[in-house]
């Protein structure tokens, strides 16, 4: 399997003192040099940005985040602050926002919790507790209900098998179990779907889906659409799509964020920031293949100004 391709990597010869000075100069006096801020932040890894923020306070006795908030506005501000958050803090903030106010943004909850490994989920829970003085699991349970609540509760445990080995016999057994829990009986036994989709490793699940197709004569996605509805259908399809191909999954997430009237800036920003150091290079390729348009061109046509320059910096 080829190694994932990030678009943001640690800058060789990184100099936190020089970068802090550039950012200080960019915000000093009248006006703000947004270009200088973008040039520094999109070309540094998240760990390097944390070092810059710590050094900024030492060198100038001022908080970099506070200064950025004073100088920037709108989507550009949100993007810059997202880049400055440590990844678990940013995820915790996005989850909190998805549960705030009237209604819950289930798509965001699923996108984040489906796509994080066990260590990342633990770090997000710790960051959430520290920031909001509450348990992420408790908040998820109070904001959702039914089988979706059970699925999110399962995902937030961070107990997925992370083995890189595939057990072919077990894949056949699990595929048969899924078939019997859905297609083969009246009514659907959702608990069996949950048990398998939330606990098996990503590689193992691909083997299960292959076996399922042979047994059922249709894809697992088709069966989920026939057997489930609403939030639960969406939850299981999220997990299956991510298991099959993270780059294709996020290419679709980005496409949906830019589709139709209006742009979902939050989703666009979150996806580009959180995948930039993982596999945004692969997502670009998947986007081009699926939608026959470069991701950068799609983003360029949806947003403007410094916000556009920031996002394009992450993509390129």
Specify the pLDDT at position 149: 94
Choose the final residue of a domain: 213, 244, 275. 244
User: What's the average model confidence in pLDDT over 76-104?
Assistant: 95
Choose the final residue of a domain: 244, 265, 299. 244
In a domain, 78, yes or no: no
In a domain, 103, yes or no: yes
Domain co-membership, 93 together with 129? yes
Domain co-membership, 126 together with 187? no
Choose the final residue of a domain: 224, 244, 264. 244
In a domain, 8, yes or no: no
In a domain, 1, yes or no: no
Domain co-membership, 100 together with 114? yes
Confidence of residue 300 (pLDDT cuts 50, 70, 90): very high
Q: Is the pLDDT of residue 106 over 70?
A: yes
Domain co-membership, 224 together with 185? yes
| DSSP code for 73 | -
Contacts 24+ apart (CB under 8 A), 67-74: 67/27, 68/27, 68/37, 70/27, 71/27, 71/32, 72/32, 72/34, 72/37, 74/307
Domain co-membership, 306 together with 253? yes
In a domain, 177, yes or no: yes
In a domain, 148, yes or no: yes
Domain co-membership, 309 together with 256? yes
In a domain, 236, yes or no: yes
Domain co-membership, 236 together with 252? no
Q: How many CB atoms lie within 10 A of CB 43?
A: 16
Number of domains within the chain: 4
User: What's the average model confidence in pLDDT over 129-153?
Assistant: 95
Q: Which domain holds residue 191?
A: 168-244
Q: How far is CA 225 from CA 146, 147, 148, 181, 253, in A?
A: 18, 15, 15, 14, 19
Which carries the bigger pLDDT value, residue 103 or residue 41?
41
What CATH number does residue 228 fall under? 1.10.220.10
Domain co-membership, 211 together with 260? no
Q: What is the pLDDT of residues 277-292, one digit of tens each?
A: 999 999 999 999 999 9
Q: What distance in Å separates the CA atoms of residue 203 and residue 151, rounded to the nearest whole number?
A: 20
User: What's the average model confidence in pLDDT over 147-167?
Assistant: 96
Q: Is the pLDDT of residue 72 over 80?
A: yes
Domain co-membership, 119 together with 152? yes
In a domain, 220, yes or no: yes
Domain co-membership, 173 together with 232? yes
Confidence of residue 187 (pLDDT cuts 50, 70, 90): low
């Amino acid at each position: 399997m080829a190694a994932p391709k990030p678009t943001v990597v640690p800058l060789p010869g990184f100099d936190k003192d020089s970068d802090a000075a550039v950012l200080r100069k960019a915000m000093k006096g009248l006006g703000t040099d947004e270009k200088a801020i973008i040039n520094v932040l999109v070309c540094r890894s998240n760990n390097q940005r944390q070092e810059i923020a710590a050094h900024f306070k030492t060198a100038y006795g001022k908080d970099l985040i506070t200064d950025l908030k004073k100088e920037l506005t709108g989507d550009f501000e949100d993007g810059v602050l997202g880049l400055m958050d440590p990844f678990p803090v940013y995820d915790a903030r996005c989850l909190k926002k998805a549960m705030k106010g009237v209604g819950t943004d289930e798509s965001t909850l699923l996108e984040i919790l489906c796509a994080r490994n066990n260590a990342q989920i633990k770090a997000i829970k710790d960051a959430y507790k520290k920031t909001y003085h509450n348990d992420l699991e408790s908040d998820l349970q109070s904001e959702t209900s039914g089988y979706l609540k059970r699925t999110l509760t399962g995902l937030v445990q961070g107990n997925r098998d992370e083995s890189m080995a595939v057990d072919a016999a077990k894949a056949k057994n699990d595929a048969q179990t899924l078939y019997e829990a859905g297609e083969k009986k009246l009514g659907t036994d959702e608990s069996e779907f949950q048990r398998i989709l939330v606990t098996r490793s990503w590689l193992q699940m691909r083997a299960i889906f292959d076996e399922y197709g042979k047994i059922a004569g249709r894809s697992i996605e088709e069966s989920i659409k026939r057997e489930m509805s609403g939030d639960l259908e969406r939850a299981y399809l999220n997990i299956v799509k991510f298991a099959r191909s993270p780059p294709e999954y996020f290419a679709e997430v980005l496409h949906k964020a830019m589709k139709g009237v209006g742009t979902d800036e939050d989703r666009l920003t979150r996806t580009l920031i959180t995948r930039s150091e993982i596999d945004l290079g692969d997502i670009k390729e998947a986007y081009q293949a699926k939608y026959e348009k470069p991701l950068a061109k799609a983003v360029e046509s949806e947003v403007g100004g410094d916000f556009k320059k920031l996002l394009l910096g992450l993509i390129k």
